[in-house]
Chain A
Amino acid sequence: EAGVVQSPRYKIIEKKQPVAFWCNPISGHNTLYWYLQNLGQGPELLIRYENEEAVDDSQLPKDRFSAERLKGVDSTLKIQPAELGDSAVYLCASSLRRGTNTGELFFGEGSRLTVL
């Protein structure tokens, strides 16, 4: 079974440029998460989707970050414009439908962003 797929793995951009990250979750996983991982720190939740609905986006900086999950499968996370402090790894994870799982999240390999 294929795991969570993310692209691109690495991205280097100039500040003020836009950037987008894509995630394809494990088939059948209704819940999708985007986490931010700064160097030397644990992941922090940006947004959580249940199917197409963003049910927790309280930590998403909405002035420059946006996300969507059309058709409840793939998801895109966008930053526009990027700032130097956005340099980090953006992790996507998925899990089974709430109420049927034990809370385990399955992670992709991450997208490492460097803003110059």
Chain B
Amino acid sequence: AQSVTQLGSHVSVSEGALVLLRCNYSSSVPPYLFWYVQYPNQGLQLLLKYTSAATLVKGINGFEAEFKKSETSFHLTKPSAHMSDAAEYFCAVSGGSSSRAQKLVFGQGTRLTINP
């Protein structure tokens, strides 16, 4: 079984500052890991994904995340925040290629606020 814990339901940073959203996972098999973004009244959009290739993954809008197996973490970062980054961010895990199930399990989400 898989689970995800996102540390911090709300994160607030100044425009131009570093963004760091934390995600820890639990999985009984090698996981696939994802970050999704959700803007108000919209569906979820994929930011980036880890699927057992490079541990440092680059996504859209300047975001990246690093898979650290020893820490069971997959934190999301962006060097310089932009006002348009304000949204809800969800970390998710699935069982990967070794799993029969393609069930994606989501964390509770982190609301990112950007201060001008």
Number of A-B contacts (CB under 8 A): 62
* Given known A-B contacts A103-B32, A103-B96, A42 and B102 have beta carbons under 8 A apart: no
Q: How many residues of A contact B (CB 8 A)?
A: 26
- The contact size tier of chain B is 20 to 34
Our pick among B45, B94, B100, B101 for the contact of A107 (Cβ within 8 Å) is: B45
Q: Given A41-B108, A102-B32, A103-B51 in contact, is the A31-B90 Cβ separation under 8 Å?
A: no
Contact: A107 with B103, CB < 8 Å? no
Given contact pairs A103-B32, A103-B49, A43 touches B103 in the complex (Cβ within 8 A): no
Q: Mark A101-112, 1 if CB is under 8 A from B, else 0.
A: 111111111101
Residue A44 at the B interface, CB < 8 A? yes
Min Cβ gap B25→A in Å is: 13
Contact string, B89-116, partner A, CB cutoff 8 A, digits 1/0?
A: 0101010100011111111110000000
Once the chains bind, are A108 and B108 in contact (CB under 8 Å)? no
A58-86 contact mask (Cβ, 8 Å, vs B): 1 or 0: 00000000000000000000000000000
In the complex, what residue of chain A is closest to B51 when comparing beta carbons? A102
Contact with B along A1-44 (1 / 0, CB 8 A): 00010000000000000000000000000010100000011111
The reply to whether the CB of A45 lies closer than 8 angstroms to some CB of chain B is: yes
The B36-75 residues at the A interface (CB cut-off 8 A) are 36, 41-46, 49, 51
Q: Provide the residues of chain B in CB contact with A40, threshold 8 Å.
A: 9, 108-109
* Bound-complex Cα distance A98 to B32 (A): 14
